């Protein structure tokens, strides 16, 4: 069975640009969460979506937004990119919002120049 998939694998942007990252959850999973992982640190929670609704948001500025589609895939958008946005962006899926185990994808490596 396919796990969580993310695209693109790598991305290079310049300051001020906008970026869209994509995630497809494990088949049958209805919840998607996004995390930012800066080099050398643990992942930091950004958003959780369940049944196409935002159910949780971490301490990130409004430049970060996301949405979930009817097929439960998700997009993370970041506007007005800053150098500090350079990180590995991880998507995790779980069966239900209340289901504990989150399974992570390989991530998208974003570099902002």
Interface with other proteins (CB under 8 A), residue total: 24
Between 3 and 16, CB nearer to other proteins: 3
Please report whether residue 58 would count as binding other proteins according to CB under 8 A. Answer: yes
DSSP string, 85-104: G-EEEEEEEESSTT----EE
- Please state whether beta strands 31-37 and 87-94 pair in parallel, antiparallel, or not at all (unpaired): antiparallel
Beta-strand (E) ranges in the chain? 5-7, 10-13, 19-24, 31-37, 44-50, 53-57, 64-68, 74-78, 87-94, 103-104, 108-112
Residue 25 in contact with other proteins, rule: CB under 8 A: no
* Residue 68 within binding range of other proteins, rule CB under 8 A: no
Interface with other proteins by CB under 8 A: which range of 14-22, 38-46, 62-70, 75-83?
38-46
List 25, 32, 48, 66, residue binding other proteins (CB under 8 A) = 48
Q: Is 22 in the site for other proteins (CB under 8 A)?
A: no
Give whichever of 41 and 71 is closer to other proteins, judged by the CB atom: 41
């Amino acid at each position: 069975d396919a796990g969580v998939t993310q695209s693109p694998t790598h991305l290079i942007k310049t300051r001020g640009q906008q970026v869209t990252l994509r995630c497809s959850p494990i088949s049958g999973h209805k919840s998607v969460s996004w995390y930012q992982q800066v080099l050398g640190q643990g992942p930091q929670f950004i958003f959780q979506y369940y049944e196409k609704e935002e159910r949780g948001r971490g301490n990130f500025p409004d430049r970060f937004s996301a949405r979930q589609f009817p097929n439960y895939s998700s997009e993370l958008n970041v506007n007005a990119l800053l150098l500090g946005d350079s990180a590995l962006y991880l998507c995790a899926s779980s069966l239900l919002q209340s289901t504990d185990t989150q399974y992570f994808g390989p991530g998208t490596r974003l570099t902002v120049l």
